[in-house]
Amino acid sequence: MPNWTLTPYLLPLRYVWKISRNASATKINLVLRVAGHGQHGTGEAAPNMRYGESLELLR
């Protein structure tokens, strides 16, 4: 059975990201690592608040 880890990273942005709905100086991204059966892989996900996504929903 594969083992996987999901690690959140708080990423400071170089510039404040502004649009008509909000502004952000940081973003949270999740990094997924999967390993098993002699293979491994890495993926990334970023929740989008506009579509009702959250860090908790992606966990």
Structure confidence at residue 57 (pLDDT)? 82
Structure confidence at residue 9 (pLDDT)? 95
Q: Report the phi/psi class of residue 45: left, alpha or beta, with left for phi > 0 and alpha for psi in -120 to 50.
A: beta
Q: What is the pTM of this model?
A: 0.71
3-state SS assignment for residue 56: helix
Structural domains of the chain ordered from first start: 3-58 (3.30.390.10)
Structure confidence at residue 35 (pLDDT)? 96
DSSP 8-state symbol, 21: S
Q: What is the pLDDT of residues 2-58, one digit of tens each?
A: 899 999 999 999 999 998 888 999 999 999 999 999 999 999 999 888 888 888 887
CA separation for the pair 44, 33 (Å, rounded): 9
DSSP 8-state symbol, 51: G
Structure confidence at residue 15 (pLDDT)? 96
Q: CB neighbours (10 Å) of residue 50?
A: 9
